[in-house]
A and B are shown apart, each in its own frame.
Chain A
């Protein structure tokens, strides 16, 4: 049945995260962005909401709750409404955990999940992006080649969220010369594996203070058990879709924040004797921003819902949501900046930061997942 209702728990999560976003994340955003340093304290406060541990089965020490893509979408939007960078830093390990929950073998789950169920933040990361321009998730250059019962990985991964500190990487790679997403596998690579070099990333346009790492894989030899899902492998289309929709959900929050910031300014700023909000050129921009904030949310929810139910239309819905949010989110952030004119360009206000974050979020294949 078609319904837009959230259940009681989801509404509660949304409300408490919106409060956290407004009271803690948003006020800290500018200073963190300028320094480029993500405070450990923020990650800890986010961790304490238990969002990641909640869906880990009780057998591994978690909350035993349902793994819900809709709940994740709601949470990511709420956090993104405070600060996209902090939202990503807080929720990035959830991408790793989600992949484990969805595709991991019993042994892989038993090995990795328990440490995410505790009170201390743990960093692990999914490595998707590569160094070449024109990168496409379905055309990975990182390769995984069978060798005996194991695998050998070669390649380079970039812009890995929390990659500078992650204890484990889930590396996406093209298996045995296959093509397309169907040939993409995921491999659990511990930070101290021979042949793996980890370094910190240089700066980035948006999501600037999100700690990021890059890795080089030079004939990294892995046992067969390192392949996520064992013999069954993974459904890479699903994994990538969850990442795309995750980034889109954060972008929806960012756009709502930018729109809500621009509305009071349009009422206050006077030009030619009246508030600029009384001029249709500005009023209609704001109306469109509102329209698209709503619309993007439903696109994200639909994709998340179909992913949650493993519906055959889920991958398509995710592509549509990603495409829609990519076009609309950047425009909203850009229009919000335009309404502030020159003030939008100055780093005292958050407008330019939101534009950088919106552009960055929507070009990456998701540093977070639903």
Chain B
């Protein structure tokens, strides 16, 4: 029956995860200020995540289900102010991979997976004129002499500078809307491909973000993901739906990143205020508390609430139940607290919270993206509203 306690081993793992996260804190400010530099694979004093792996072997079948627990791990890790690296999804060869690797695994053919599985692949969907409304993308691909010829511009490619290549969305039939959209593997040495720039950002600066240009960029015909070149009538292609389904798994993960930054800011504010003699007395009623006490309680309640929605969405996935709606719910909540809680933490701490002497201001900058990428809070609300009102994406826009 419903339970929210962790086993001893799971608690040990989370403690270790926090240690891993904290081990790079000393380098954080450096990579903030030198954002053109990629952090090395291992920083001085860094405790690698591999230190946690042996503990996983001690988990028992009746411990928290794995996806759910990994969300708790993600929140614990991100709540530290360690260097925020790229997405670092695992690849078969043990190297870190990007979002494109996830797309390859979910939509690629067996041959494609075998051939490109060991490449670091970014995901390239967004364009200057098309963000959340992905079916509006303008990049085109046309077949010519057994090659796809791609034309267009892409932005906001996470890991796009360091990746070996990217899974690129392009339409093979603009009149078909989302049904015409296919994804293509483009390696960086393809003729006509250009890495235009690395973006300068508010936060997550150690994670690179690229802009690409495709000018008659030519790739072999077999580099379309999957092998379905047809344009289905009505609705999206299988590949499009496949990617949308991937979001049900990745949204809780991205939401956990937002909750993590809220949690970090909350912890920072709580500890800093405690050092100044301000602490929550949990035995006092609402109208007996000081304003900072009440604010801390509200921040903790909001953060906890968001964390529970993330765990719930993951738990549904663990127990093989649909989590479409719930992954949007948790993404909306994670996106909310990544903004409100670091902002409130700075209110409580006052003027010195802006100083680069301290890392609290970084939670606001690093967290802020969580309400934008992988679907803004508004997109999540749109998805939720359609679902509960029974409207299609055409009926409620």
Instruction: Tell whether A pairs with B.
Output: yes
Chain A nearest CB from B319 CB (Å) reads 7
Interface residues of A in 256-314 (CB under 8 A from B): 263, 266-267, 277-278, 280, 283-284, 286-288, 290-291, 294-296, 298-299, 301-302, 304-306, 309, 311
| Interface secondary structure of B, over-half rule | helix
Tell yes or no: A5 within 8 A of B by CB: yes
* Chain B residue at smallest Cβ distance from A302: B4
Query: Nearest-CB distance from A359 to chain B (Å)?
Result: 14
CB neighbours of B390 from chain A (8 A): 267
Tell me whether A286 and B389 are in contact (CB under 8 A): yes
A10 to B1, CA, bound (A): 9
Given the interface pairs A182-B283, A291-B329, A291-B332, the reply to whether A298 lies near B309 with Cβ below 8 Å is yes
The residues in A between 135 and 151 inclusive whose CB is less than 8 angstroms from any CB of B are: 135-139
Query: Looking at the complex, which of B50-58, B130-138, B198-206, B294-302 is the stretch in contact with chain A?
Result: B294-302
Q: Is B275 an interface residue (CB 8 A)?
A: no
User: In the assembled complex, which residues on chain A have CB atoms less than 8 Å from the CB atom of B315?
Assistant: 2-4
Q: Nearest CB to that of B61 among chain A residues?
A: A1
A134 within 8 A of B: yes
Contact of A315 among B64, B283, B329, B382 (CB under 8 A): B283
Asked whether, in the complex, the Cβ of B63 is within 8 Å of the Cβ of A283, the reply is no
Q: Are B2 and A3 in contact (CB under 8 A)?
A: yes
Question: Which B residues between 271 and 325 are near A, CB-CB below 8 angstroms?
Answer: 282-288, 297-298, 300-302, 304-306, 308-309, 311-312, 315-316, 319
Contact-size category for B: 35 or more
Given contacts A291-B384, A298-B312, A299-B308, A278 and B396 within 8 Å (CB-CB): yes
A24 close to B (CB within 8 Å): no
A315 surroundings in chain B (CB, below 8 A): 282-283
In the complex, what distance in Å separates the CA atom of A5 from the CA atom of B395? 35
- Contact flags A115-149 to B (C-beta < 8 A → 1, else 0): 00000000000000000001111110000000000
Interface positions of B from 364 to 397, Cβ below 8 Å from A: 378, 380-382, 384-386, 388-391, 395-396
Q: Please give me the residue from chain B that is nearest to A326 by CB atom.
A: B286
Chain A: number of interface residues, binned into ranges: 35 or more
* B-side contacts of A343, CB under 8 Å: none
The reply to whether A298 and B388 form a contact with Cβ atoms under 8 Å apart is no
Interface centre among A6, A283, A316 (most CB of B within 10 A): A283
Residues of B within 8 A of A317 (CB): 304
Q: Determine whether the beta carbon of B5 is less than 8 Å from that of A138.
A: no
Nearest A residue to B288, CB-CB: A136
Residue B212 at the chain A interface, CB threshold 8 Å: no
Any chain B CB within 8 A of the CB of A64?
no
Inter-subunit contact A2/B72 (CB<8 Å): yes
Whole-angstrom distance from the CB of B239 to the nearest CB of chain A?
28
- Tell me the residues in window 1-17 of chain A with beta carbons closer than 8 Å to chain B beta carbons: 1-7, 10
Contact A294/B329 with A5-B319, A299-B308, A323-B297 known, Cβ cut-off 8 Å: yes
B363 interface hit (Cβ, 8 Å): no
Please name all residues of chain A whose beta carbon is closer than 8 Å to the beta carbon of B5 when the two chains form the complex.
1-2, 305-306, 309, 311
CB-based contact B388/A319 at 8 Å? no
A1 touches B7 (CB 8 A): yes
Set of chain A residues within 8 Å of B306, measured between Cβ atoms:
295
Contact across chains for B283 and A139 when beta carbons are under 8 A apart? no
B391 CB contacts on chain A under 8 angstroms: 277-278
Inside 8 A of A51's CB, which chain B residues have their CB? Answer: none
Contact B2 A305 (CB under 8 A): yes
Q: When chains A and B are docked, how far (Å) is the Cα of A327 from the Cα of B299?
A: 12
Query: Does B77 have its Cβ within 8 Å of any Cβ on chain A?
Result: no
Bound form: Cα–Cα A342–B364 in Å: 41
Give 1 or 0 for each of B73-97: 1 = CB within 8 Å of chain A CB. 0000000000000000000000000
Most buried by B among A5, A137, A287, A299: A287
Q: Are A295 and B287 in contact (CB under 8 A)?
A: no
CB pair B326 A294 closer than 8 Å: yes
Task: Check B298 against A283 for contact (C-beta < 8 Å).
Answer: no
The closest CB in chain A to the CB of B68 belongs to A2
**Within the complex, which residue of A138, A302, A311 is in contact with B284, where a contact is CB–CB below 8 Å?**
A138
The 4 A-B residue pairs with the shortest CB-CB distance, nearest first, are A136-B285, A283-B385, A298-B308, A287-B381
Other 5 A-B pairs with CB < 8 A, given A6-B2, A286-B388, A296-B305: A3-B65, A70-B2, A263-B389, A280-B385, A286-B389
Name B residues whose Cβ lies closer than 8 Å to a Cβ of A: 1-7, 10, 62-65, 68-69, 72, 282-288, 297-298, 300-302, 304-306, 308-309, 311-312, 315-316, 319, 326, 329, 332-333, 378, 380-382, 384-386, 388-391, 395-396
26 A-B pairs with CB atoms under 8 Å apart are A1-B10, A1-B62, A2-B3, A2-B4, A2-B315, A3-B3, A7-B1, A10-B1, A70-B1, A70-B2, A136-B288, A139-B288, A180-B284, A266-B389, A278-B396, A280-B385, A284-B378, A291-B309, A296-B305, A299-B305, A302-B308, A306-B5, A311-B5, A315-B282, A320-B304, A327-B298
